[in-house]
Amino acid sequence: MQKNPIHTSLVAVGDSFTEGMSDLLPDGSYRGWADLLAGRMAAVTPGFRYANLAVRGKLIGQIVDEQVDVAAAMRPDVITLVGGLNDTLRPKCDMGRVRGLLTEAVERLAPACEQLVLMRSPGRQGPVLDRFRPRMEELFATVDELAAQHGAVVVDLYGASSLSDPRMWDFDRLHLTAEGHRRVAEAVWQTLGYAPEDAEWHTPMAATPPPGWAARRVADVRFARQHLLPWIGRRLTGRSSGDGRPAKRPELLPYEGPAA
């Protein structure tokens, strides 16, 4: 039987993906893969502590300025860093600057923890993301290079066919469903060396009949009205969905949360 590692603390750094959108709880808050992961780790390590500094909408420069030093000062056993994807989805994006900031983040976080975890973020198929895919893949190549240089591990969600399934994505088409977040938590759990709870997390769900033309058009209109147009408006005015929002869980404290 595989013996689980002993990690006593976790700090998560990033944007909406790590905050947990769109894994909505009954009280209106978001859970997400990082909370699920922390719950599992707490279940096997008494006194386990967890902080989640992620805030939706943050660009890599904001993550570096607002989260990296805070996370490093906590000196946890494990730090997860996912950032830069919001930058790649902007109409104008200086990829050299993004790579440089990501490098800065890794150089400051890797010495501050026992294990730094990086990710190749999941990406669904579709014409909108296809436009930005070369930038995304350039970002992920940098992630791989930095991991090799600094002893980090990489969770390859981009290469997981299960997470490209549209059914894993909320109707905003940018954030994972509860099932998607569960699979990400499993992927990180296994990458950290824990015994698998779902060895088939990367296996796609069984095929179902696709929605009809009318249902797709209704979904497209809903998406445009509730998400695409507001997103464009924020880009044009320089605003972010995370403006004024505090970190999700700003202090490294004992965690009692969802374990599955």
Q: What pLDDT digit, counting tens, does each position of 203-215 carry?
A: 886 665 666 656 5
Per-residue model confidence (pLDDT) at position 55: 97
pLDDT > 90 in the chain, percent = 65
Angstrom CA distances, 135 to 93, 138, 150, stand at 9, 5, 23
Residues in the chain: 260
**β-strand partners of 118:** 81, 154
Assigned token pair, 214: 């009318």
Minimal CA–CA distance to 43: which of 90, 97, 83, 7? 7
Higher-confidence position of 209 and 187? 187
CA neighbours closer than 13 Å in the CB half-sphere of residue 123: 25
Tell me the pTM: 0.85
Strand, coil or helix: 150 = helix
- Under the banding of pLDDT at 50, 70 and 90, the label for residue 200 is very high
**Average of per-residue pLDDT across 237-242:** 56
Kindly compute the dihedral angle of the four CA atoms of residues 59, 62, 187, 176, in this order, to the nearest 10 degrees.
-50
- Under the banding of pLDDT at 50, 70 and 90, the label for residue 175 is confident
Minimal CA–CA distance to 14: which of 78, 71, 75, 99? 71
Per-domain boundaries in the chain? 9-254
- Under the banding of pLDDT at 50, 70 and 90, the label for residue 166 is confident
For residues 181 and 120, what is the distance between their CA atoms, to the nearest angstrom?
14
Higher-confidence position of 254 and 226? 254
> CA angle at residue 182 from 228 to 230, to 5 degrees?
10
Residue type, 113: C
Q: Is the pLDDT of residue 220 over 70?
A: no
Fill in the DSSP letter of residue 255: -
Q: What pLDDT digit, counting tens, does each position of 99-140 carry?
A: 999 999 999 999 999 999 999 999 766 555 678 889 999 999
**Average of per-residue pLDDT across 85-95:** 91
Per-residue model confidence (pLDDT) at position 227: 46
Per-residue model confidence (pLDDT) at position 2: 64
**Average of per-residue pLDDT across 150-156:** 98
In b/e form, how buried is each residue of 35-52, taking b as 16+ CB within 10 angstroms?
bbbbbbbbeebeebbbbb
In b/e form, how buried is each residue of 75-95, taking b as 16+ CB within 10 angstroms?
ebbbbbbbbbbbbbbeeebee
Q: Would you tell me which CATH number, out of the four given (2.60.40.10, 3.40.50.300, 3.30.70.260, 3.40.50.1110), belongs to the domain 9-254?
A: 3.40.50.1110
Per-residue model confidence (pLDDT) at position 199: 93
Per-residue model confidence (pLDDT) at position 125: 60
111 phi and psi, to 5 degrees?
Answer: -75, -10
